[in-house]
Amino acid sequence: MTPILIAFNACVYAAVFLLINRNAALMSLLVYVVATSIINHFTDHFEAIKQVTIITKNPEEVVKAIKKELNKTCTLMDSYGAIAGENKTLICYINYFELSKMKDILTSNPGCFSTVSTIDEIIK
């Protein structure tokens, strides 16, 4: 659909440029490009998948809370911290709108350290 819209808008801007007013056509084109880039930036942000990496000594409670609150599962891996020693690393994939619930889960479980990354693509 996007290529069709771009082609249609190109025709409209070309017609306005040639037939009506060059300055108005160029200003409209500038507004269109800026608005499109801003909209794409924000919609890509909301549609992106988030990878939450959690390091904890008590993974059972965190996994239960994630399953209960978000209906998601996690991948568990053994890890070792230079200061903390033996840990478990949990990896969970959520969407942008589930991020606040995930933060609530992690703040209610003391001793968790987490990072959030944006994932461009998941291949199944």
Mean pLDDT, the chain, integer? 86
Is residue 46 scored above 80 in pLDDT?
Answer: no
For CA atoms 55, 60, 65, 68, the dihedral sign is positive
Q: Rounded to two decimals, what is the model's pTM?
A: 0.67
pLDDT for 1: 54
Mean pLDDT of 36-48: 76
Range 82-102 average pLDDT: 91
The answer for residues whose C-beta is within 8 angstroms of residue 80's C-beta and 6 or more apart is: 86, 87
Under the banding of pLDDT at 50, 70 and 90, the label for residue 85 is confident
Residues facing 90 on adjacent strands? 54, 76
pLDDT bin (cut points 50, 70, 90) of residue 98 is: very high
Tokens 């996007």 — which residue? 2
